[in-house]
Amino acid sequence: MSPNSGGPKVGVGAVVFNEKNQILLIKRGNEPNKGIWTIPGGKVELGEPVKEAALREVREECHIDVELIDLLGVVDLILKNKNGNVDFHYVLIDYLAKYKSGTPRADSDVTDIGWFSRDQLDNLDIPSITRKMLEKAFAKINPIDESLN
């Protein structure tokens, strides 16, 4: 039985920025995307509103509190195995969030965590779907800079 038997799962994520306009990224310890840098997030629990799920996932994975600022986007993450069968299908709802308090530290399913400036992202192994969301986030937190490009 595949991990997504019964259909796609709903997931949430948060692009968290701090006062220096750095983005918080985590390195996943579990599939999907094990060993890859991405944004904090995870599955929505039954009966849980998506905004509450996003806040909970950031708190669980990073041990910080954030304020959700805006909806960044809704995307499909579909990962297939070598036979072409779907192993994972998530509908991801991603938010822009502002860091409020706490010291970021990795949880049990996170192997590394850190704040990164925009120019540091090129050196990291980040999925293309996440890179697109990060660009949307930087455009929202740096609208004047974006208009000059």
Q: What domains, with CATH codes, occur in the chain?
A: 9-144 (3.90.79.10)
**Mean of pLDDT values over 3-31:** 89
Bridge partners (DSSP) of residue 9 are: 90
Residues contacting residue 75 through CB under 8 Å, at least 6 positions apart: 91, 92, 94, 129, 132, 133
- Tokens encoding 43: 């599955």
- What integer pLDDT is reported at residue 2 of this predicted model? 52
What three-state secondary structure class fits 37?
A: strand
How many residues in the chain? 149
Place of tokens 């800079």: 145
pTM reported for the whole predicted model: 0.86
